[in-house]
Amino acid sequence: MTSSRQALRQRITHGPTLWCGGAQDALSALLVDQSDFDGIFSTGFGISAALLGQPDMELYTLSENVATVNRMANVVRKPIFVDADTGYGSVLNVGRAVREFEKAGAAALQLEDQVSPKRCPAAAAPSTLVSIDDALARIKAALDARTDPDLLIVARTDAQDPGEALERAARYAEAGADLIQPISRTFNSFQQLVQLRETCGRRLSLMLMADTWMTALTREQIESVAAFTSYPIAGLLTTVHTVQANLRELARRRSGDFADLPFAQTSMTDFKDLIGWHALEERQARYETGGAR
Protein backbone atom coordinates (compact mmCIF):
# COMPACT_ATOMS: atom_id res chain seq x y z
CA MET A 1 0.00 0.00 0.00
CA THR A 2 2.84 2.39 0.79
CA SER A 3 4.28 2.22 -2.72
CA SER A 4 0.88 2.88 -4.29
CA ARG A 5 0.33 5.82 -1.92
CA GLN A 6 3.72 7.21 -2.92
CA ALA A 7 2.78 6.96 -6.57
CA LEU A 8 -0.51 8.69 -5.89
CA ARG A 9 1.20 11.53 -4.03
CA GLN A 10 3.55 12.04 -6.96
CA ARG A 11 0.59 12.02 -9.30
CA ILE A 12 -1.35 14.74 -7.49
CA THR A 13 1.69 16.99 -7.56
CA HIS A 14 2.46 16.96 -11.25
CA GLY A 15 0.75 13.97 -12.84
CA PRO A 16 -2.51 13.48 -14.74
CA THR A 17 -5.88 13.84 -13.05
CA LEU A 18 -7.10 10.74 -11.20
CA TRP A 19 -10.65 9.96 -12.33
CA CYS A 20 -12.71 7.99 -9.80
CA GLY A 21 -16.01 6.16 -9.94
CA GLY A 22 -18.21 6.22 -6.86
CA ALA A 23 -18.89 3.05 -4.88
CA GLN A 24 -21.00 2.27 -1.83
CA ASP A 25 -20.08 -1.36 -1.12
CA ALA A 26 -17.64 -4.07 -2.16
CA LEU A 27 -19.59 -5.06 -5.28
CA SER A 28 -19.88 -1.53 -6.65
CA ALA A 29 -16.18 -0.97 -5.84
CA LEU A 30 -15.35 -4.13 -7.79
CA LEU A 31 -17.31 -2.83 -10.77
CA VAL A 32 -15.36 0.45 -10.68
CA ASP A 33 -12.09 -1.45 -10.26
CA GLN A 34 -12.82 -3.47 -13.41
CA SER A 35 -13.77 -0.35 -15.37
CA ASP A 36 -11.50 2.20 -17.03
CA PHE A 37 -11.58 4.54 -14.02
CA ASP A 38 -8.30 5.20 -12.21
CA GLY A 39 -9.64 4.81 -8.67
CA ILE A 40 -12.63 4.29 -6.39
CA PHE A 41 -14.40 6.99 -4.39
CA SER A 42 -16.24 5.57 -1.37
CA THR A 43 -19.28 7.80 -1.22
CA GLY A 44 -20.73 8.45 2.24
CA PHE A 45 -24.05 9.33 0.62
CA GLY A 46 -24.08 5.91 -1.02
CA ILE A 47 -22.81 3.99 2.00
CA SER A 48 -25.55 5.43 4.18
CA ALA A 49 -28.15 4.49 1.57
CA ALA A 50 -26.77 0.99 0.92
CA LEU A 51 -25.98 0.09 4.52
CA LEU A 52 -28.90 1.71 6.33
CA GLY A 53 -31.36 2.71 3.64
CA GLN A 54 -31.26 6.20 5.13
CA PRO A 55 -29.99 9.70 4.22
CA ASP A 56 -26.39 10.86 4.55
CA MET A 57 -26.80 12.65 7.87
CA GLU A 58 -23.93 10.89 9.67
CA LEU A 59 -26.21 8.14 10.90
CA TYR A 60 -23.72 5.42 10.09
CA THR A 61 -20.71 5.17 12.39
CA LEU A 62 -16.97 5.33 11.90
CA SER A 63 -16.74 1.58 12.45
CA GLU A 64 -19.39 0.90 9.80
CA ASN A 65 -17.65 3.19 7.31
CA VAL A 66 -14.23 1.65 8.00
CA ALA A 67 -15.65 -1.86 7.62
CA THR A 68 -17.13 -0.91 4.25
CA VAL A 69 -13.83 0.55 3.05
CA ASN A 70 -11.97 -2.53 4.26
CA ARG A 71 -14.32 -4.80 2.32
CA MET A 72 -13.69 -2.68 -0.76
CA ALA A 73 -9.93 -2.87 -0.26
CA ASN A 74 -10.11 -6.66 -0.04
CA VAL A 75 -11.37 -6.97 -3.62
CA VAL A 76 -9.88 -4.03 -5.56
CA ARG A 77 -6.43 -3.06 -6.79
CA LYS A 78 -6.99 0.59 -7.60
CA PRO A 79 -6.61 3.35 -4.95
CA ILE A 80 -9.57 4.14 -2.70
CA PHE A 81 -10.45 7.76 -1.93
CA VAL A 82 -12.50 7.74 1.28
CA ASP A 83 -15.30 10.05 2.36
CA ALA A 84 -14.45 10.53 6.04
CA ASP A 85 -17.26 13.03 6.70
CA THR A 86 -16.46 15.34 9.63
CA GLY A 87 -14.11 12.92 11.37
CA TYR A 88 -16.83 11.58 13.69
CA GLY A 89 -16.38 13.81 16.71
CA SER A 90 -13.61 15.77 18.39
CA VAL A 91 -10.07 16.15 17.08
CA LEU A 92 -9.25 12.95 18.96
CA ASN A 93 -11.94 11.16 16.97
CA VAL A 94 -10.51 12.64 13.78
CA GLY A 95 -7.13 11.16 14.62
CA ARG A 96 -8.63 7.76 15.28
CA ALA A 97 -10.63 7.92 12.04
CA VAL A 98 -7.50 8.62 10.01
CA ARG A 99 -5.63 5.72 11.59
CA GLU A 100 -8.55 3.33 11.08
CA PHE A 101 -9.05 4.29 7.43
CA GLU A 102 -5.31 4.04 6.83
CA LYS A 103 -5.26 0.50 8.21
CA ALA A 104 -8.37 -0.36 6.20
CA GLY A 105 -6.58 0.45 2.95
CA ALA A 106 -7.43 4.07 2.09
CA ALA A 107 -5.07 5.93 -0.21
CA ALA A 108 -6.72 9.32 0.39
CA LEU A 109 -9.51 10.70 2.54
CA GLN A 110 -11.53 13.87 2.69
CA LEU A 111 -12.57 15.80 5.79
CA GLU A 112 -15.39 18.33 5.82
CA ASP A 113 -15.77 21.55 7.76
CA GLN A 114 -19.45 21.06 8.64
CA VAL A 115 -20.66 20.68 12.18
CA SER A 116 -21.41 17.13 13.28
CA PRO A 117 -23.77 15.53 12.42
CA LYS A 118 -23.31 16.71 8.85
CA ARG A 119 -25.78 16.82 5.98
CA CYS A 120 -24.81 16.02 2.43
CA PRO A 121 -24.89 19.31 0.45
CA ALA A 122 -25.99 17.43 -2.67
CA ALA A 123 -29.37 16.80 -1.09
CA ALA A 124 -29.74 19.08 1.96
CA ALA A 125 -30.36 22.74 2.65
CA PRO A 126 -27.39 25.01 3.48
CA SER A 127 -25.07 23.48 6.03
CA THR A 128 -23.69 24.89 9.27
CA LEU A 129 -19.91 25.07 9.43
CA VAL A 130 -17.48 24.89 12.30
CA SER A 131 -15.20 27.88 12.82
CA ILE A 132 -12.06 28.14 10.72
CA ASP A 133 -9.97 27.45 13.83
CA ASP A 134 -11.93 24.27 14.55
CA ALA A 135 -11.62 23.17 10.94
CA LEU A 136 -7.87 23.78 11.04
CA ALA A 137 -7.65 21.72 14.21
CA ARG A 138 -9.31 18.81 12.40
CA ILE A 139 -6.84 19.04 9.54
CA LYS A 140 -3.83 19.22 11.84
CA ALA A 141 -5.11 16.28 13.88
CA ALA A 142 -5.54 14.29 10.68
CA LEU A 143 -2.05 15.10 9.45
CA ASP A 144 -0.48 14.16 12.77
CA ALA A 145 -2.43 10.90 13.03
CA ARG A 146 -1.34 9.28 9.80
CA THR A 147 1.52 6.83 10.09
CA ASP A 148 2.15 6.86 6.36
CA PRO A 149 3.03 10.41 5.30
CA ASP A 150 1.84 9.58 1.77
CA LEU A 151 -1.76 9.10 2.88
CA LEU A 152 -3.48 12.07 1.25
CA ILE A 153 -5.66 14.43 3.30
CA VAL A 154 -8.23 16.33 1.24
CA ALA A 155 -9.86 19.31 2.97
CA ARG A 156 -13.40 20.02 1.83
CA THR A 157 -15.06 23.32 2.52
CA ASP A 158 -18.85 23.51 2.43
CA ALA A 159 -18.80 27.30 2.66
CA GLN A 160 -21.35 28.63 0.19
CA ASP A 161 -20.11 32.20 0.11
CA PRO A 162 -17.30 32.30 -2.50
CA GLY A 163 -15.21 34.72 -0.47
CA GLU A 164 -15.41 32.59 2.64
CA ALA A 165 -14.65 29.46 0.62
CA LEU A 166 -11.51 31.08 -0.80
CA GLU A 167 -10.37 32.15 2.66
CA ARG A 168 -10.98 28.74 4.16
CA ALA A 169 -9.28 26.97 1.26
CA ALA A 170 -6.17 29.09 1.62
CA ARG A 171 -6.01 28.47 5.37
CA TYR A 172 -6.57 24.72 4.97
CA ALA A 173 -3.80 24.48 2.39
CA GLU A 174 -1.49 26.50 4.63
CA ALA A 175 -2.21 24.01 7.43
CA GLY A 176 -0.98 21.18 5.20
CA ALA A 177 -4.00 19.78 3.36
CA ASP A 178 -2.86 18.03 0.21
CA LEU A 179 -5.88 18.98 -1.92
CA ILE A 180 -8.86 21.29 -1.59
CA GLN A 181 -12.41 20.28 -2.45
CA PRO A 182 -15.24 22.78 -2.96
CA ILE A 183 -18.93 21.92 -3.14
CA SER A 184 -20.64 22.60 -6.44
CA ARG A 185 -23.17 25.15 -5.20
CA THR A 186 -20.46 27.58 -3.96
CA PHE A 187 -19.15 28.58 -7.37
CA ASN A 188 -20.75 28.82 -10.79
CA SER A 189 -17.95 29.14 -13.31
CA PHE A 190 -14.68 27.59 -14.40
CA GLN A 191 -12.94 30.91 -13.79
CA GLN A 192 -13.87 30.70 -10.11
CA LEU A 193 -12.33 27.23 -9.89
CA VAL A 194 -9.15 28.64 -11.41
CA GLN A 195 -9.24 31.40 -8.80
CA LEU A 196 -9.72 28.83 -6.05
CA ARG A 197 -6.72 26.84 -7.17
CA GLU A 198 -4.56 29.93 -7.46
CA THR A 199 -5.67 31.22 -4.06
CA CYS A 200 -4.97 28.01 -2.15
CA GLY A 201 -1.93 26.93 -4.17
CA ARG A 202 -3.24 23.36 -4.38
CA ARG A 203 -4.83 21.30 -7.11
CA LEU A 204 -8.49 20.60 -6.49
CA SER A 205 -10.71 17.62 -5.88
CA LEU A 206 -13.99 17.89 -7.79
CA MET A 207 -17.24 15.94 -7.49
CA LEU A 208 -19.29 15.71 -10.69
CA MET A 209 -23.04 15.18 -10.31
CA ALA A 210 -25.95 15.51 -12.71
CA ASP A 211 -27.98 18.71 -12.64
CA THR A 212 -25.11 20.87 -11.38
CA TRP A 213 -23.29 23.58 -13.30
CA MET A 214 -20.09 21.51 -13.34
CA THR A 215 -21.59 19.24 -15.97
CA ALA A 216 -20.82 22.01 -18.48
CA LEU A 217 -17.09 21.74 -17.82
CA THR A 218 -14.93 20.12 -20.47
CA ARG A 219 -12.39 17.43 -19.71
CA GLU A 220 -9.60 19.88 -20.49
CA GLN A 221 -10.97 22.43 -18.02
CA ILE A 222 -11.40 19.85 -15.27
CA GLU A 223 -7.92 18.42 -15.71
CA SER A 224 -6.35 21.87 -15.70
CA VAL A 225 -7.45 22.49 -12.10
CA ALA A 226 -8.12 19.09 -10.50
CA ALA A 227 -5.91 16.27 -9.27
CA PHE A 228 -8.95 14.16 -8.31
CA THR A 229 -12.27 14.09 -10.12
CA SER A 230 -15.05 11.75 -9.03
CA TYR A 231 -18.54 10.72 -10.05
CA PRO A 232 -19.64 9.93 -6.49
CA ILE A 233 -23.25 8.79 -6.94
CA ALA A 234 -23.69 8.10 -10.67
CA GLY A 235 -23.42 4.36 -10.12
CA LEU A 236 -25.76 4.40 -7.12
CA LEU A 237 -28.49 6.37 -8.88
CA THR A 238 -28.12 4.26 -12.02
CA THR A 239 -28.57 1.12 -9.93
CA VAL A 240 -31.67 2.46 -8.21
CA HIS A 241 -33.27 3.53 -11.48
CA THR A 242 -32.50 0.22 -13.20
CA VAL A 243 -33.66 -2.01 -10.34
CA GLN A 244 -36.85 -0.03 -9.79
CA ALA A 245 -37.77 -0.27 -13.47
CA ASN A 246 -37.18 -4.03 -13.70
CA LEU A 247 -38.94 -4.79 -10.42
CA ARG A 248 -41.91 -2.71 -11.47
CA GLU A 249 -42.20 -4.69 -14.69
CA LEU A 250 -41.69 -8.09 -13.03
CA ALA A 251 -44.28 -7.25 -10.38
CA ARG A 252 -46.72 -6.34 -13.15
CA ARG A 253 -46.10 -9.62 -15.00
CA ARG A 254 -45.95 -12.02 -12.04
CA SER A 255 -44.87 -14.85 -14.36
CA GLY A 256 -41.71 -16.63 -15.45
CA ASP A 257 -41.25 -14.27 -18.38
CA PHE A 258 -37.98 -12.32 -18.26
CA ALA A 259 -38.03 -11.22 -21.90
CA ASP A 260 -37.75 -7.56 -22.88
CA LEU A 261 -37.31 -6.09 -19.42
CA PRO A 262 -36.65 -2.34 -19.38
CA PHE A 263 -32.98 -3.11 -18.66
CA ALA A 264 -31.13 -6.30 -19.57
CA GLN A 265 -29.73 -8.45 -16.78
CA THR A 266 -26.11 -9.47 -16.56
CA SER A 267 -25.79 -13.16 -17.35
CA MET A 268 -24.94 -15.55 -14.53
CA THR A 269 -21.74 -16.48 -16.39
CA ASP A 270 -20.58 -12.86 -16.56
CA PHE A 271 -21.55 -12.24 -12.95
CA LYS A 272 -19.56 -15.25 -11.75
CA ASP A 273 -16.56 -13.96 -13.69
CA LEU A 274 -17.00 -10.55 -12.09
CA ILE A 275 -16.90 -11.84 -8.52
CA GLY A 276 -14.10 -14.37 -9.10
CA TRP A 277 -16.21 -17.50 -8.71
CA HIS A 278 -13.98 -19.79 -10.77
CA ALA A 279 -10.76 -18.70 -9.07
CA LEU A 280 -12.20 -19.55 -5.66
CA GLU A 281 -13.52 -22.89 -6.91
CA GLU A 282 -10.07 -23.76 -8.22
CA ARG A 283 -8.43 -22.74 -4.96
CA GLN A 284 -10.88 -24.79 -2.92
CA ALA A 285 -10.35 -27.83 -5.16
CA ARG A 286 -6.59 -27.51 -4.91
CA TYR A 287 -6.66 -27.66 -1.13
CA GLU A 288 -9.31 -30.34 -0.89
CA THR A 289 -7.51 -32.64 -3.33
CA GLY A 290 -4.18 -32.23 -1.54
CA GLY A 291 -2.60 -30.21 -4.34
CA ALA A 292 -1.56 -27.32 -2.09
CA ARG A 293 1.64 -28.68 -0.58
pLDDT score for 122: 64
* Structural domain boundaries enclosing 288: 263-293
Q: For the chain, what is the domain count?
A: 2
Residues 221 and 275 in one domain: no
Q: Is residue 126 part of a domain?
A: yes
Q: What's the pLDDT at 2?
A: 44
Same domain, 283 and 192: no
Residue 255 lies in a domain: no
Task: Please give the pLDDT value at position 125.
Answer: 64
For residue 61, pLDDT over 70 is answered with yes
| 164 and 111 in a common domain | yes
User: pLDDT tens digits, residue range 13-30?
Assistant: 889 999 999 999 999 999
| Lowest-pLDDT choice from 5-9, 54-58, 218-222 | 54-58
- Same domain as 187, residue 87: yes
- Residue 72: inside a domain: yes
Q: Does residue 170 sit in the same domain as residue 270?
A: no
What per-residue confidence (pLDDT) applies to 44? 95
* Residue 183 in this model has a pLDDT that exceeds 90: yes
Segment 121-125 shows an average pLDDT of 63
Taking only the tens place, the pLDDT of each residue in 156-179 is: 999 999 999 999 999 999 999 999
C-alpha 174/C-alpha 171 separation (Å) is: 5
Assess whether 121 and 198 both reside in one domain: yes
222 & 269 share domain: no
The pLDDT tens digits of the residues spanning 186-226 come to: 999 999 999 999 999 999 999 999 999 999 999 999 999 99
pLDDT in tens, 62-121: 999 999 999 999 999 999 999 999 999 999 999 999 999 999 999 999 999 999 877 777
**What string of DSSP letters covers the chain?**
-HHHHHHHHHHHHHSPPEEEEEESSHHHHHHHHTSS-SEEEE-HHHHHHHHHSS-SSS-S-HHHHHHHHHHHHTT--S-EEEE-TT-SSSHHHHHHHHHHHHHHT-SEEEEE-B-SS---TTTSSPPPB--HHHHHHHHHHHHHH-SSTTSEEEEEE---SHHHHHHHHHHHHHHT-SEEEE-TTT--SHHHHHHHHHHHTS-EEEE--TTSGGGG--HHHHHHHEEEEEESSHHHHHHHHHHHHHHHHHHHH-SS--TT-SSPPPPHHHHHHHTTHHHHHHHHHHHHTT---
Task: Look up the CATH number of the domain holding residue 43.
Answer: 3.20.20.60
What are 240-289's pLDDT values in tens digits?
A: 999 999 999 999 999 999 999 999 999 999 999 999 999 999 999 999 98
Is residue 292 over pLDDT 60? no
